[in-house]
Amino acid sequence: MSQQPAPSIETSNRIWTVPNVISFVRLLGVPLFLYLLLVTENDVAAVIVLAVGGSTDWVDGYVARRMNSVSRLGELLDPFADRLYILATLIGFTVREVVPWWLTGALLLREVFLGVVLLVLRRHGFGPPPVHYVGKTGTFVLLAAFPVILLAKAVPSIAWWASPVGWGLAWWALGLYWAAAALYVMQAVRMLRADRAGTVGP
C-alpha cells in the first residue's frame, strides 16, 4: 500500500479568519497596556495585559496550522504584533524607568541592524530570510521576561525572586536575539554569494 503524502497547508488571501481575529485582539492589547502603564500607572493590570498578550504569541499560528487557515495577512500580522508588543513595552518601561536605557538601545539596535540587512537583500531582489527558531525563541523569552520584570516593580514583596527571574530571562533573550541576528546575516551572505555566482536567479 502506497504512502499518502501529507496534506499541505495553503496560504490564502482571506482577511477574516480565526487566527487573524486573534492577532487583531492581541494588537488591541498594545494601546491598553500603554494606557495602564503610562497614564493610570496601574502596574498590576498592565502586567496582566502584557502577560496575556505575550503568552498568546503562539496561539494564532497554532490555530492557523490546525485549521488550515494560513493567510498572507496572518503571516504579516503575527510577527508585527510581536514586534509592536516589544517596542511598546520597551518605550513604556524606559519612560517609567523599569528597564535601563542600554537594554532598550541594545534591542532596538538589533532591529535597525536587521533592517539594513533586509534592505540589502531587497535591493538584490530577495525577500527576508526564513525565520530561525533561535529568533522565535528569543521573542518568546523576551515576552515572558517583561511581565515578570514589571511584576517585581508592581509588587515589592515578591521582588526578591521576580526581579532575578525577570532579568535572567531578559539577558537570555538578549543573547538569543543577537545570535539570531548573526544567523540571519549568515543566511543573507549565502544568498548574495549564490546570486553573484549565478546559481540563484534574481
- Average pLDDT of the chain is 81
CA 117 – CA 113 distance, rounded (Å): 7
Encoded amino acid at 152, one letter? A
Low pLDDT (below 70) residues in the chain? 1-20, 56-76, 198-202
Contact 153, 43 (CB under 8 A): yes
Looking at residue 8, its pLDDT comes to 42
CA 17 – CA 38 distance, rounded (Å): 33
Crossing angle (nearest 10°) for helices 43-55 and 133-154: 160
Looking at residue 151, its pLDDT comes to 92
Report pLDDT digits (tens) over 69-127: 666 665 667 777 778 888 899 999 999 999 999 999 999 999 899 889 989 888 888 87
Q: Looking up cell 482571506, which residue turns up?
A: 14
Crossing angle (nearest 10°) for helices 72-95 and 133-154: 40
Find the helix or strand (DSSP H, E) in which 88 lies.
Answer: helix 72-95
Looking at residue 140, its pLDDT comes to 86
Looking at residue 131, its pLDDT comes to 74
